[in-house]
Amino acid sequence: MKIFKIEDGLIKMLLLGLILSFILLPISDSIPLLFTPNSSYLEVLISKGIIWEYLFNTLELVFKVGIFSILLGFTSSYLITMYEFKFKNMFKVLLTLPLAFPVYVGAYTYSSIFYTNKWLSYIFTNKIFMEGSVFIYGIFLYPYIYLACRSYLKNNLVEYIEASKTLGKSNFETFIKVIFPISWPAILGSTLFVIFETLSDFAVVEFYGVATISKVITDSWMGLGQKDTAAKVSIILIFILGAMIFVEKLIRRRKRYEGISNRKIKPEKPSKLQSFAIYIFLGIIVSLGFILPAYEMIKFSIAKSSYIEGLNLFDITSNTLLTLSIAIVFIIAIATIFASIVNQLKNGKKFFSTIAVMGYSIPSLILALAVYIFTLSLDNSIYNLFHIEWLVLMNTRTALIIALVIKFISVAFSNYSNTLDKINPNIFNASKTLGHNFLGTFVRINLPLLKKPTKFVFILLFIDLIKELTLTYTLRPFNFKTLSTEIYRYAGNEMIEVAAIPSLVIVGVCSLMILYLELGGRNVKNRQP
């Protein structure tokens, strides 16, 4: 029996060590570059104050996107939760559909809309909205906040609202003094996701000409080939994110409100004036976030339907599906093992959970740089050992798959961890009593229990991966084409209407999957920040 325990512990340690190495080694391999001498390019950026201007622009972008997203997301979640009105269920679903749009697709589509609709251009492309980039990020990323706050408001505020009304407070006073302050932890946590997505993207700010830290990273890495400069500048973004995560965790720790009972909020019927205001507000959001850009894409696709054959749409779509399928298989396999091991640990659960979500917290451009440096180093080692001149990792989709797994393993891990935490631990103890080691328990118990959430995990991963541009564009092999890279290429060549064809494929597929999840009673995003 003693030997069995040692062997079981060794199995867990070996698997845990392999998974941690897979996640951490590519990220840590770029650390030595931070201690190299500054390049002349970086010295110029510092001496001229250019990098500080880019830093200020980045902070301004993050702040404005956060405020705009909260305005759209929290307000819409409040209206959906607190009021009962006609077509409410339709609005409830439509408000999630902007997530079907990759933000870069939204940027390219709205460039044409801004050109033909001067009032929209006047409102959303001024300095306040940073040439339109704040609007694009906000209108297509606010569903993160909407979904999180909708769930929070529905399940946690009944007693507080009743107490406020008992004290004679109006709906407006209750909103300002009770609902909004109590919801602040949920708002901050979901806003972090919006910020993660904003900093992970480079295409929108590049397209609208907004100079941010991402520009310095792309220019130094892809333009000048200075990986060390890109790595040093990346530290600025990591520091910004680290500070935001620290503040969010601090506020969430100090302010945590939960409902005393299991009762849910009973929506009230609005007055005619309130109903009119609700329809106008939600109608504008749905129109700007989904209906208008979807209509524009369909119109462009019909107008440029003659280009479909020349686009090789079938080959590009097949290559996209093959890449994301490989990545999803690896993500699900690693996440099931990782979550199963962490679930049985008595100590260190929080640490390993942090490691699992680390990849999602790192901006995609920085992660791509780290994986590039790591795989290039491995290719050099392979050449020194076997004298293979062909870059085995960089000239295949291996580097891209590694980056995608590290980035999105948190999606699967969070779902599997939540599922396993709800299971009585006596089930696993009984398996050990019957003589099964970790692998036996994993096959007989964990896998069957995780079969149901795997369906939802697959859909969530599919939506994220098919939209991913930054990792795909920066780590793709030569002449490697996917739907996202072709959209970026055609848009870069000012062929926005042609880019609408592959864009429509992504938006159409993602819309169907989001509708399935939302109508099936499952939130589109079930992650832990």
One-letter amino acid for residue 29 of the chain: D
Residue 261 has a pLDDT of 53
On the question of pLDDT at 524 being above 60, the answer is no
Instruction: List the one residue out of 183, 113, 178, 222 whose CA is nearest residue 473.
Output: 222
CA distance 242 to 484: 29
Q: Is the dihedral of CA 272, 274, 278, 284 positive or negative?
A: positive
pLDDT in tens, 324-347: 999 999 999 999 999 888 888 777
**Fold adopted by 36-300:** MetI-like fold (1.10.3720)
Beta partners for residue 83, in sequence order: 268
268, β-bridge pairs? 83
pTM of the complete model: 0.88
The mean per-residue pLDDT over the stretch 480-496 comes to: 90
Of 21-35, 270-284, 291-305, give the lowest mean pLDDT range.
21-35
| Measured distance CA(439)–CA(428) in Å, rounded | 12
Helix, strand, coil percent values for the chain (each to nearest 5): 80, 0, 20
Render 235-271 in DSSP notation, one character per residue: HHHHHHHHHHHHHHHHHHHH-----SSS----PBPPP
- Please report the pLDDT score of residue 91 as a whole number: 94
Q: Pick from 81, 150, 89, 138: which is nearest to 526 by CA?
A: 150
Tell me if 326 sits within 8 A of 401, measured CB to CB. yes
**pLDDT, tens digit, 9 for 90 and up, residues 409-426:** 999 998 888 888 887 777
Q: 403-416 as b/e, with b when 16 or more CB fall inside 10 Å?
A: bbbbbbbbbbbbbb
Q: Is 477 helix (H, G, I), strand (E, B) or coil?
A: coil
CA distances from 429 to 13, 46, 437, 446, 453 (A): 19, 59, 11, 13, 22
What does the chain come to in residues? 529
CB burial string 151-188: b at 16+ within 10 A, e below: bbbbebbbebbeebeeeebebeebbeebbeebbebbbb
Identify the pLDDT of residue 41.
Answer: 85
Per residue in 372-404, pLDDT tens?
A: 888 888 878 877 777 666 666 777 788 899 999
Which residues touch 244 (CB under 8 Å, ≥6 apart)?
62, 192, 195
Residue pLDDT, tens place only, 232-285: 888 888 888 888 877 777 776 655 555 555 667 778 888 889 899 999 999 999
Could you report the per-residue pLDDT of 431-478, keeping only the tens digit for each?
A: 777 767 777 778 888 888 888 889 889 999 999 999 999 999 988 888
CA 254 to chain centre: 26
What does the block give as tokens for 113? 């809309």
CA atoms within 13 A on the CB side of 497: 9
Amino acid 8: pLDDT = 66
Express as a percent the part of the chain with pLDDT over 70: 92
pLDDT at position 389 is 65
Burial of 330 by CB count in 10 Å (0-12 exposed, 13-18 middle, 19+ buried)? middle
SS3 83: strand
pLDDT for residue 253: 66
Mean of per-residue pLDDT scores for the chain: 85
Residue 204 · residue 104 · CB < 8 Å:
yes
Residue 229's contacts (CB-CB under 8 Å, 6 or more residues apart) are 38, 39, 41, 42, 216, 220, 221
Angle, helices 398-421 vs 451-467, to 10°: value is 140
Contact 368, 471 (CB under 8 A): yes
Best mean pLDDT range from 146-160, 305-319, 505-519: 505-519
DSSP for 144-181, please give it: HHHHHHHHHHHHH-HHHHHHHHHTT--HHHHIIIIIHH
| Spatial CA neighbour of 297 closest among 488, 515, 105 | 105
Picking from 190, 165, 187, the residue whose alpha carbon sits closest to that of residue 175 is 165
Q: Which helix (H) or strand (E) holds 47?
A: helix 40-47
